[in-house]
Structure 1
């Protein structure tokens, strides 16, 4: 398989497909900088899904606007700082997150966390695709006078899904170089449209309701932070290294963390804060089955088109990165296909999922919240173990990451690093014991400790992280560098990577 240097990629035509799969990028081919990651994460988080998240803080958690803003800052920017930490591993090893995770869990033990990561990516892509298809249906309603109800126009709904998926496949299939360029410039275009829409939405806010809203209890703030963290950065945590693998080995860890936290935090704080403001006088946005239509109704007719275009663009920018990451994760799971075919496979799966939510399911937003709550636990458990492993592991053996056989550096015992895998599994069990998952007003699942102070205050994800990280440490994990560098260039790489 041929490879391209990142310098070549930067100057390559946008029609050139990235040939690299999950194999580590050689140091000589890594010329990325933190500003690139800033634009990537900024673009991935200017979608309108931040508005219903902010609305839920007021409608469901009973917070006022200022509390919602604090929650958004801690939950979103803080969670994406964790994404930045994981991206440091990408700079060290030059490989995607879940490929690097083989060093932590073993080449076989990593299958569980990788499967969870893939489900997370596919879930978010289905959310993006379904929402974007609703956006296109609204545009069709304005342009053609058709119904905005997907079940009334099933063929049109499928066409809307297909258009979004085709746009996603075009960019995600091309790969790293195309994503860097498109995410940067599209941010300016769709970001400007979002600013215009925000100005008009601000004019619809019931300021008297905002001013008179009482402050919520501290427990509601904690729950809100958990909801926002799970709905933003936690969902992206296991993709942190996917774009960072092209970063120069000399890039400082603090710069990677700051670029992730600021890049995602700025748009999310604005959108979540706006959602909280809109919901202060009208809680319907938080429970709307179609949040796109609910927001559109707040705008004058002539503003609906730029709003819908901005909404479509924001969702597309998020989906580009998610599908790219899902393709890498699919290969890591063991499906032996080229990256571009893995991307195509993931798009087909989300196409089917979007059809279900638009044409069969009775509700969309309810399953979305349920999905966030369920997957946040195993992802947070993985994050705890993986970050502890990063404390001492400053070198990833490139050959070992790709060797799935018994002689590989990360085979451990039976292909499983039992301390890491056991810590991850136990943390999941503990985490689920503290949560209650509701859908449609009914409890889908209720852990036996969900009624405790920790469960009632939404702290299950924090406990999960602490248990996973703490147990791994107690079991003697994070043994450090597994294979010592044997060449002068490897030694230089290890010395540079250890500057954290």
Structure 2
């Protein structure tokens, strides 16, 4: 079978090589990366995650836990538990070098080509959500900067600023992964320095007694779910996208450990800092607007300028992955065109969120509801990878036909496990919009993360353990 490409022509350079001396637009979409172009390393992937996580959203998610009602020590525990899910992100990276393609192209194996489409659509919605939230933070930072200069934006100008930021954030992902990684590396050092200064500045203002009455067990479990969704677990749908340029012989253990440490270490530290900052500005309606009252003006301006640059680089990762997710859904669109589509939708959503006036509640509900689909999906992907021993029929992943098209395009085992996991997560979720009956039975405890993971994994293992192992054996014989 021929390997279908949705994005031609394809550059002969991998992101580790492309643009080493010049900026070039990456042409590759979800098509298979041949062995001759896979020169990446675990170290480069780990550094990419470290650079990407060294951004203000870590502070935002950490602050959110305190602003939702957890005391400082509950927030610390929730952050540590939530960031342990970076191990799952590492495991979801494994199909990248094994299949040489993106996350949601590899996802066709356990779900079937048509069964994968609604899952990919859920991921596209989630990526749009993250992009929109980051765009809102960029707007808030811009508003504070302009406010420091005495400029008060009216509604028309606020819309113009959001649209301008949406265009700006689209530049890096249009160029592709090589340019994104360059930008992240450039911003890593100044942002690390600024965060270190921020620690010193807020240290004396931290109130360890804030909320010492405890948010209660139910709120703590919700905090763990929010922390997991905003950290490692929330990045699982992107994982293989950035590991696909690694050689197939890459050590599984090194990739999992490198991804987990690379992402978890900076994000844990920044979320802890965010929780501490929130105790200094407990009445802030969002994580940016309250900063002027907590930070000196000499530091606030350079800090927010770098925040803008860093969020632009971070959103480039989301836009890069969400564009390829559109391709995995079967939409005939080039990668750069998909970035443009995403930017337009992202701008519209960001405008709605900005004028809703309830950033923290919207963010919390978004992070919790996204768990419903990606917790079981991540578990299924990991179980499927190990059942098939990392052996994928490459042509079937890329072509309209092939083994992974399944009966009517659906793999009953994967689809059933996904539905079962989503139902389990919904039964155990607790948000301001909806609380599941199991959560109510446990006094409001949000158990959606373990419920989705466990039910999704066990259901898929029970239904697919024989067929997927047999399938991997046939694939090994065909490739031999």
| Fold similarity call, TM over 0.5 | yes
* 1:215 CA drift (Å): 6.6
CA pair 47-469 structure 1, distance change in 2 beyond 3 A? same
The answer to whether the 8 Å contact 1:128/1:319 transfers is yes
Residue 494 of structure 1 corresponds to none
1:387 to 372, 382, 386: 382
* 1:60 CA drift (Å): 3.5
Distance 1:369 1:221 in 2: 13
1:314 aligns with 2:321: no
1:104 aligns with 2:110: yes
Deviation by residue 1:333-361 (Cα, 9 ceiling, x = unmatched): 11111111111111111011112222x32
Secondary structure of the corresponding residue to residue 113 of structure 2: coil
CA pair 3-53 structure 1, distance change in 2 beyond 3 A? closer
1:412 aligns with 2:420: no
CA pair 185-2 structure 1, distance change in 2 beyond 3 A? same
Residue 441 of structure 1 corresponds to none
Residue 165 of structure 1 corresponds to 166
TM-score (norm 1): 0.88
Residue 120 of structure 1 corresponds to 126
Secondary structure of the corresponding residue to residue 169 of structure 2: helix
* 1:123 CA drift (Å): 0.3
Deviation by residue 1:441-477 (Cα, 9 ceiling, x = unmatched): xxx2222222122x73321220111111111111234
1:474 to 457, 462, 478: 462
Residue 39 of structure 1 corresponds to 47
CA pair 198-167 structure 1, distance change in 2 beyond 3 A? farther
Deviates most, 99-108 or 360-369: 360-369
Q: How many residues align?
A: 468
Distance 2:359 2:86 in 1: 25
Deviation by residue 1:10-61 (Cα, 9 ceiling, x = unmatched): 4544421011110110112101011211222122222323234323433435
CA pair 14-298 structure 1, distance change in 2 beyond 3 A? farther
Distance 1:31 1:431 in 2: 39
Residue 139 of structure 2 corresponds to 133
Distance 1:51 1:484 in 2: 45
The answer to whether the 8 Å contact 1:24/1:93 transfers is yes
Structure 2 residues not aligned, in runs of 5+: 1-8
Deviates most, 3-12 or 126-135: 3-12
Residue 60 of structure 1 corresponds to 68
Q: How does 1:282-321 map to 2 (within 5 A)?
A: 282-285=281-284, 288=285, 290-321=286-317
Distance 2:220 2:440 in 1: 18
Distance 1:133 1:161 in 2: 6
Secondary structure of the corresponding residue to residue 292 of structure 1: coil
Distance 1:7 1:175 in 2: 8
The answer to whether the 8 Å contact 1:197/1:306 transfers is no
Secondary structure of the corresponding residue to residue 327 of structure 1: helix
Residue 22 of structure 1 corresponds to 30
Deviates most, 424-433 or 475-484: 475-484
Q: How does 1:256-271 map to 2 (within 5 A)?
A: 256-271=255-270
* 1:282 CA drift (Å): 4.7
1:146 aligns with 2:140: no
* 1:131 CA drift (Å): 0.9
Deviation by residue 1:358-393 (Cα, 9 ceiling, x = unmatched): 2x3232221111111111111101112111101122
Structure 1 residues not aligned, in runs of 5+: 439-443, 492-500
2:429 to 435, 439, 443: 435
Residue 497 of structure 1 corresponds to none
Distance 1:323 1:399 in 2: 26
CA pair 8-90 structure 1, distance change in 2 beyond 3 A? closer
1:398 aligns with 2:398: no
The answer to whether the 8 Å contact 2:439/2:447 transfers is no
Residue 327 of structure 1 corresponds to 323
Distance 2:10 2:464 in 1: 40
Residue 436 of structure 2 corresponds to 447
Secondary structure of the corresponding residue to residue 130 of structure 2: helix
* 1:224 CA drift (Å): 2.7
2:445 to 457, 461, 475: 457
* 1:8 CA drift (Å): 7.4
TM-score (norm 2): 0.91
1:371 to 366, 371, 376: 366
Distance 1:4 1:88 in 2: 23
Distance 1:228 1:8 in 2: 31
RMSD, aligned α-carbons: 2.2
* 1:397 CA drift (Å): 1.7
Residue 236 of structure 1 corresponds to 235
The answer to whether the 8 Å contact 2:70/2:223 transfers is no
